[in-house]
């Protein structure tokens, strides 16, 4: 798989996670994502690392903790990378 194919696949997975989270959380969507978005913003500011790298670290941490928060974490990454307010 080429880098471009891999990037497109990952982007599609993040978009799917975001859409599923929006359907599942409904009106609580922003509230549910807030801690993850704040963590992403804080880590990026503190580390000066690229956003994609910060999101990768966040998702790895969520996975090592059992993955229960993977959906909102992925959705938060998607929102941050899309520049959503």
Q: What percent of the chain has pLDDT over 90?
A: 75
Q: 39-69 burial by CB neighbour count: b if 16+ within 10 A, else e?
A: bbeebbeeeeeeeeebbeebbeebeeeeeeb
pLDDT in tens, 20-40: 999 999 999 999 999 999 999
- The HSE-up count of residue 34 (CA atoms within 13 Å, CB side) is 6
**74 pLDDT tier (thresholds 50, 70, 90):** very high
Of the ranges 1-5, 29-33, 61-65, 67-71, which one carries the lowest mean pLDDT score?
A: 1-5
Structural domains of the chain, count: 1
pLDDT > 60? residue 1:
no
**Which residue range is the domain that position 70 belongs to?**
3-81
As a whole number of angstroms, the distance between CA 15 and CA 5 comes to 15
């Amino acid at each position: 798989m080429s880098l471009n194919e891999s990037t497109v696949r990952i982007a599609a997975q993040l978009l799917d996670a975001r859409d599923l989270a929006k359907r599942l959380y409904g009106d609580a969507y922003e509230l549910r994502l807030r801690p993850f978005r704040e963590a992403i913003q804080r880590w990026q500011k503190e580390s000066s690392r690229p956003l994609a790298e910060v999101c990768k670290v966040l998702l790895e941490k969520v996975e090592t903790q059992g993955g229960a928060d993977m959906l909102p974490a992925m959705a938060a990454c998607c929102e941050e990378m899309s520049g959503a307010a």
